[in-house]
């Protein structure tokens, strides 16, 4: 009899926990996602539930810690250098929802790095013309100079003219090479790299052969609550201490 009573009480407790979690999840969906980082209890709840989702669905590419992989062009999610948007939860949620070049009609797909060593750098835009090996080298020297690194002055000057002119690089990366997070064009003037180690060889690979990374769309593969919890977890790992008091 006592065992049965304990079993009933345990079942009621489990049911209460599930009910409370369900209520909290519904409250998350009703809230403005960008306001949730200031709501400690809601953020803590979302981070607790978002962590196993990240481990199951995102860690295979971004790593268990979220630090990414520059060998494959997978962004580091633990810093505050954002490729798409400025790191607000609503922006992270949009990336998770629709992906990057995922073929979802709402995906971010504007920033496609042309392959300038090929006769047709971007088949979708025939106005983009190839660059010669020497011209690619000059653009690399320009980027080195923009990053404050040693560079050949003459080559950098020629590269600047190509960047702002024939190469058309400014159209995505802006005239100062600082990129454009509205379309996902990387900042080329700092030391943070998406592909490779920032060396001349790594830059040559990107400019010569192009880059078109893909992130899948999860909107039809996970619930709205799960996606919001996952977005808030990603937010938390780039903001030390945010929602992490259960560690």
Question: What are the pLDDT digits (tens) for 145-186?
Answer: 999 999 999 999 999 999 999 999 999 999 999 999 999 999
Query: Collapsing DSSP states into helix, strand and coil, what is residue 55?
Result: helix
Which pLDDT value is given to residue 15? 36
Residue 113 pairs with which residues in a beta bridge? Answer: 211
- The first and second tokens of residue 235, run together, are 């937010």
Residues 178, 98: Cα–Cα separation, whole Å = 25
Residues 245, 22: Cα–Cα separation, whole Å = 21
**In this predicted model, what pLDDT tens digit does every residue of 30-42 receive, in sequence order?**
999 999 999 999 9
Rg value, the chain, Cα: 23
* pLDDT at residue 12 tops 80: no
The yes-or-no answer to whether 34-112+215-247 and 133-209 have a common fold is yes
Which of these CATH numbers, 3.30.1540.10, 1.10.760.10, 1.10.10.10, 1.10.1040.10, describes 133-209? 1.10.760.10
| CATH fold of the domain at 34-112+215-247 | Cytochrome Bc1 Complex; Chain D, domain 2 (1.10.760)
Number of neighbouring beta carbons within 10 Å of residue 230? 25
pLDDT-derived band at 25, boundaries 50, 70, 90: confident
């Amino acid at each position: 009899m006592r065992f049965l009573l304990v079993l009933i009480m345990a079942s009621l407790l489990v049911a209460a926990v599930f009910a409370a979690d369900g209520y909290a999840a519904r409250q998350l969906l009703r809230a403005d996602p960008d306001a949730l980082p200031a709501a400690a209890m809601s953020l803590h709840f979302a981070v607790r539930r978002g962590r196993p989702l990240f481990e199951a669905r995102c860690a295979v590419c971004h790593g268990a810690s979220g630090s990414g992989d520059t060998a494959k062009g997978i962004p580091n999610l633990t810093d505050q250098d954002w490729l798409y948007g400025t790191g607000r939860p609503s922006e992270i949620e949009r990336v998770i929802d629709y992906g990057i070049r995922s073929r979802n009609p709402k995906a971010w797909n504007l920033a496609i790095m042309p392959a300038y060593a090929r006769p047709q750098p971007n088949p979708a835009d025939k106005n983009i013309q190839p660059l010669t090996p020497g011209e690619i080298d000059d653009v690399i020297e320009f980027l080195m100079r923009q990053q404050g690194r040693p560079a050949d002055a003459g080559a950098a000057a020629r590269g600047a003219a190509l960047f702002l002119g024939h190469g058309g690089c400014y159209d995505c990366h802006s005239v100062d090479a600082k990129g454009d997070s509205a379309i996902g064009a990387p900042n080329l003037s700092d030391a943070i790299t998406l592909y490779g180690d920032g060396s001349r060889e790594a830059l040559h690979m990107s400019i010569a052969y192009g880059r078109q990374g893909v992130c899948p769309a999860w909107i039809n593969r996970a619930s709205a609550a799960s996606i919001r919890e996952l977005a808030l977890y990603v937010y938390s790992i780039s903001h030390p201490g945010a929602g992490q008091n259960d560690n």
